[in-house]
Copies of this chain bind each other. A is one copy, B any other.
Amino acid sequence: MAVIPASHSDLLAKKAFWHIATLGPDDEIQTSPVWGGWDGEHFLFSLTRGRQKYENLVRNPTIAVSATDPDNPYRYLEIRGTVVRVDDDSSNAFIDSMAKKYMGVDEYPMHQPGDQRVVIVVAPRRTSRMG
């Protein structure tokens, strides 16, 4: 597993928005921002089952994510990797931890009826960085 460069590991603790690139049907690239977490070995983010990004990753677990430092946009970290697990989050433990990190609240306030929350677990394979 790739090691996150020590010079840029602080981005994983910051309120950085991570742009998640996945492959859709017909190998169309798709990208959008998400909240990101780190468990010491894996990059983590929340999705709901049935979303386009979820379907993409079930079909093809290849992924790349990048974020700029909220305090200096000329620093960035990219992580390329593979989705190695999709963990159930029906307790909302993970999405609540992200709401705490990014919004400073104890409970994620934007649930929609029928949402089935999961945690996407990404093993890094390679990184790149600047700044």
Contact = CB atoms under 8 A, between A and B. Distances in A.
Interface of A: 17, 19, 21-23, 27-33, 62-66, 68, 73, 76, 78, 80, 128, 130
- Count the copies: 2
A64 B26 CA distance: 14
Contact of A64 (B17, B30, B66, B73): B30
A20 to B, nearest CB: 8
A19 B19 contact: yes
A13 B116 CA distance: 36
25 contacts: A17-B68, A17-B73, A19-B19, A19-B33, A19-B66, A21-B21, A21-B29, A21-B30, A22-B29, A23-B27, A27-B27, A28-B62, A28-B64, A29-B29, A29-B64, A30-B80, A31-B64, A31-B66, A31-B78, A32-B78, A32-B128, A32-B130, A33-B66, A33-B68, A33-B73
Closest CB pairs A-B (n = 6): A21-B21, A19-B19, A29-B64, A31-B66, A31-B64, A21-B31
Nearest to A23: B29
B76 A28 contact: no
